[in-house]
Amino acid sequence: MKQFHVGILIFDDVDAMDFVGPYEVFNLSTNKESDVPKLFLNQLPLKEKPFLVNTVSVDGEPITVHNGLKVQPDFSFDTAPGFDVIVVPGGPYRGIKNVSGHASIIDWITQQSKKSLIVSVCTGAFLLAKAGLLNGKKATTNQAALHLLQKSYPEIEVIRDVKYIDQGDIVTSAGISSGIDMSLYIVERLLDEEAAIRTANTIEYH
């Protein structure tokens, strides 16, 4: 059974739930019901999980999450392996503005889009927009940033009142906890509905 490698981009001022929600959804997904007890007993080998999940940052150095949490990424851009799915989280305006001006991050997202499914959470949509990946597409973001996204990138069809939008090779989701809904959808898309329901039950998200 195919294992999908998920790479989660992290950076200074990233919102914790934006990346931790998807991190937990993918890590707590299983191929079959009998694997769930093994998962909680730490007896399920990595090779038997449907998703291998890692974090990645520009240089691999610790980053400071919005509100102060310190996180050590698994990889830098230079050491990261190939990924099947890239999760681009968001953060407060300050953080997104800084990252949008960081050419190496935007270039990395652009390069990853040529070979990976790209999904964004919350204001992570602005980074996809900056990379030009949302031109001519439908997209969503945090409800507080919808107007700004439309004003800043008029070539995007900004959609309100949805949890996520699938545009094939790009999936965007709304604010913060919507990343959990979007990740469960990705589980369904890449595995099947049964796996997504099982994961939702496992994390008690109904």
Q: What is the pLDDT of residues 39-51, one digit of tens each?
A: 999 999 999 999 9
Give Cβ neighbours of residue 110 (< 8 Å, ≥ 6 apart): 131, 132, 133
**Global pTM value:** 0.97
The answer to whether residues 174 and 141 touch, using CB atoms and an 8 Å cutoff, is: yes
Q: Where are the domains of the chain?
A: 4-202
Q: Residue 21: which of 185, 188, 149 has the closest Cα?
A: 185
- Superfamily for 4-202? Class I glutamine amidotransferase (GATase) domain (3.40.50.880)
Which pLDDT tens digit goes with each residue over 121-179? 999 999 999 999 999 999 999 999 999 999 999 999 999 999 999 999 999 999 999 99
